[in-house]
Amino acid sequence: MIVTALTEIPPDSGSAGYVVAAVIVSAILVLTYLVIVAFRVRDAARRLEALESRLDGAAARVGGTGTADPAPGGAVGDPAAVAAAAESRGARR
C-alpha cells in the first residue's frame, strides 16, 4: 500500500517556492525564540540588580563591611557550630 502511494507521487511535484517559504518560516520561528529569550534575560538581569541592591542595603545595616559577626562558639559555616546552635534552639533536622 505504501509502495503504491509512493509510486503515484510524481518525482518533481515540489517547487523551489515551497523550500524558500519553509526557510523563511523557520527563520521567523528562530528569531521569535531569540526575542523571547532576550526579554527573559533582561527581566532576570533586572531581578538580579534589585536583589543586589537589597543585599547592599542589608550589608550597610549589618555594619558596612557586608559581613556579620561570627557566631559565638565557632566560625560561620562550621558544621559543628551550626549543629550546636540548632540543638540549643531545639530545632529538628
Amino acid at 5: A
pLDDT of residue 66: 47
From the CA atom positions of the chain, what is the Rg in Å? 31
pLDDT per residue as tens digits for the range 34-90:
999 999 999 999 999 999 988 888 888 886 554 555 555 545 567 777 777 777 776
pLDDT of residue 58: 84
10 vs 74, which has greater pLDDT?
10
CA dihedral sign of residues 85, 87, 91, 93? positive
pLDDT of residue 37: 97
The Cα–Cα gap between 21 and 85 comes to 67
Render 27-46 in DSSP notation, one character per residue: HHHHHHHHHHHHHHHHHHHH
The Cα–Cα gap between 92 and 83 comes to 10
